[in-house]
């Protein structure tokens, strides 16, 4: 399939749906329980509209943005996505390479299918997302490994204290790690390209797709996610641990999964270098508001220089600009680039990133802005309010 015919992230999602077995597409697309959080993430963009300005000179548009001394080509990055190896063989590597090529940050997932040391070689700025167990001895061992791998930005995900209720996965027999069932076998037969090019290739190279990081540090592999809590004791991880972590970890520290303004302020006070406002793409607690809706109060709660990043439902340049207008420094996408990988590997991810870059550039001009700092709340309105 020619990638040029895919014009939007939504086109990539439709194409990925055809390529991937039902269970893998469902794993990527899905949320939890009734998928209220997942839907809110998209719907909230429609609650806010732009008031564009005309006749501004916008011929010299600048999308690049700086964070901690690193200049990125646009305010967009790739969020950590675990078990990407199910979407495509060595998908994590392809995501990392496409991000490097586009000069945007890529966050290595704590549940990546490729070991972090191998992935780190493909990135320039070395962001790594950790799922920390609830005990400091094991965290210390992970930190040693991250230091040895020269990780610079440590992103600690805080919204995953217990396993989420992913009924959609259970309904199609999808388990982590992957376990073959008759239903999945049929799914595989119906998607031969995936079965030969992804599943069997991975099986041959490294066995059943699985988590490649942190087993040695956190104890025996989790062979099955228990209904309540993780065997790693993540439900004991606390703010005190984060204060302790701040003393231990000398690199940049980012907390991901912040939704409440008090937590945002707490993160800043304990010395974190930034936060990612996120509801895990609607994959943890169901019934949250969208990160975009949580953003304004969070921006109010922290100081102006504190980097607030965001993810959740971003599919268009206009979505990104709405978050920038509220004060976000960077926006991450998770599913969008996985769909790119599913359809076209590294080139597919690159095409998704270039579509988003082109949309951002065009939309900034149409909004009347040449620089990102000109994109402010003054250009937004709640869509449904009509003042008479």
If one asks whether residue 335 binds ligand FNR (CB under 6 A), the answer comes out as: yes
Binders in 302-321 for ligand FNR, by CB under 6 A = 311-314
If one asks whether residue 123 binds ligand FNR (CB under 6 A), the answer comes out as: no
With 0-12 / 13-18 / 19 or more C-beta atoms within 10 angstroms meaning exposed / middle / buried, residue 381 is: middle
Choices 78-86, 213-221, 242-250, 364-372 (CB under 6 A): range interacting with ligand FNR: 78-86
Q: Which two tokens stand for residue 319?
A: 């979505």
Which single residue is written with the structure tokens 């609607």? 282
Name the nearest CA neighbour of 158 among 136, 126, 135, 132: 132
Which single residue is written with the structure tokens 């920390």? 132
258 or 369: whose CB is closer to ligand FNR? 258
To the question of whether residue 166 is assigned a binding role by annotation, the answer is: yes
252 or 379: whose CB is closer to ligand FNR? 252
If one asks whether residue 261 binds ligand FNR (CB under 6 A), the answer comes out as: no
Smallest separation (angstroms) from ligand FNR to the CB of 103: 20
If one asks whether residue 184 binds ligand FNR (CB under 6 A), the answer comes out as: no
User: How many H-runs (helices) and E-runs (strands) does the chain carry?
Assistant: 16, 12
306 or 314: whose CB is closer to ligand FNR? 314
Angle at 309 between CA 153 and CA 326, to 5 degrees: 160
Choices 17-25, 260-268, 327-335, 360-368 (CB under 6 A): range interacting with ligand FNR: 327-335
129 or 168: whose CB is closer to ligand FNR? 129
65 or 113: whose CB is closer to ligand FNR? 113
If one asks whether residue 110 binds ligand FNR (CB under 6 A), the answer comes out as: yes
Smallest separation (angstroms) from ligand FNR to the CB of 368: 27
Integer Rg of the chain from CA: 20
To the question of whether residue 82 is assigned a binding role by annotation, the answer is: yes
Q: Which residue minimizes CB distance to ligand FNR?
A: 334
Smallest separation (angstroms) from ligand FNR to the CB of 81: 4
With 0-12 / 13-18 / 19 or more C-beta atoms within 10 angstroms meaning exposed / middle / buried, residue 247 is: exposed
E strands present in the chain? 48-50, 65-67, 70-72, 76-78, 107-108, 127-130, 153-157, 252-258, 274-277, 308-311, 330-333, 380-382
Task: Give the number of C-alpha atoms closer than 13 A to the C-alpha of residue 124, restricted to the C-beta side.
Answer: 14
The size of the interface with ligand FNR (CB under 6 A), counted in residues, is 24
| 70 DSSP β-pair partners | 67
DSSP 88: S
Q: Just list the catalytic residues.
A: 280
Binders in 147-166 for ligand FNR, by CB under 6 A = 157
Choices 52-60, 200-208, 280-288, 372-380 (CB under 6 A): range interacting with ligand FNR: 280-288
The order of strands in the sheet holding 107-108 is: 76-78, 330-333, 308-311, 274-277, 252-258, 153-157, 127-130, 107-108
97 or 315: whose CB is closer to ligand FNR? 315
Choices 14-22, 74-82, 93-101, 223-231 (CB under 6 A): range interacting with ligand FNR: 74-82
Query: Can you say which residues are annotated as belonging to the binding site for FMN?
Result: 80-82, 109, 129, 157, 256, 278, 311-315, 334-335
Q: Which residues bind ligand FNR (CB under 6 A)?
A: 28, 41, 79-82, 109-111, 129, 157, 256, 278, 280-281, 283, 311-314, 333-336
């Amino acid at each position: 399939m020619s990638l040029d015919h895919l014009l939007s992230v939504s086109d990539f999602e439709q194409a990925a749906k055809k390529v991937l077995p039902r269970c893998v597409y469902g794993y990527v697309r899905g949320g939890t329980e009734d998928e209220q959080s997942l839907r809110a993430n998209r719907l909230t963009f429609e609650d806010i509209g732009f008031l564009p300005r005309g006749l501004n000179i916008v011929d010299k548009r600048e999308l690049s943005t700086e964070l901690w001394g690193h200049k990125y080509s646009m305010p967009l990055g790739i969020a950590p996505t675990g078990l990407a190896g199910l979407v495509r063989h060595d998908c994590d590597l392809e995501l990392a390479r496409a991000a490097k090529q586009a000069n945007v940050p890529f966050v290595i997932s704590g549940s990546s299918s490729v070991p972090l040391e191998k992935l780190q070689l493909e990135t320039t700025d070395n962001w790594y997302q950790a799922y920390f167990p609830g005990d400091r001895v094991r965290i210390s061992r992970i930190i040693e490994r991250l230091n040895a791998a020269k990780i610079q930005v440590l992103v600690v995900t805080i919204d995953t204290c217990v396993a989420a209720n992913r009924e959609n996965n259970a309904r199609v027999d999808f388990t982590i790690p992957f376990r073959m069932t008759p239903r999945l076998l049929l799914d595989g037969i119906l998607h031969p390209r995936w079965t030969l090019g992804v599943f069997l290739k991975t099986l041959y190279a490294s066995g059943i797709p699985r988590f490649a990081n942190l087993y040695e540090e956190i104890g025996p592999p989790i062979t099955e996610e228990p209904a309540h809590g993780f065997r790693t004791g993540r439900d004991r991880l606390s703010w005190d641990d984060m204060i302790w972590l701040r003393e231990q970890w000398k690199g940049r520290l980012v907390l991901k999964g912040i939704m409440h303004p008090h937590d945002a302020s707490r993160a800043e006070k304990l010395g974190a270098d930034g936060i990612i406002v996120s509801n895990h793409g609607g994959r943890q607690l169901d019934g949250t508001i969208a990160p975009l809706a949580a953003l304004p109060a969070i921006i109010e709660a922290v100081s102006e220089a504190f980097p607030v990043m965001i993810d959740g439902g971003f599919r268009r340049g206009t979505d990104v600009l709405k978050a920038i207008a509220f004060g976000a420094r960077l926006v991450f996408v998770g599913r969008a680039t996985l769909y790119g990988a599913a359809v076209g590997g590294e080139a597919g991810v690159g095409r998704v990133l270039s579509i988003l870059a082109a949309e951002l550039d065009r939309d900034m001009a149409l909004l009347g802005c040449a620089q990102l700092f000109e994109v402010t709340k003054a250009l937004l309105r709640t869509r449904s309010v009509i003042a008479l």
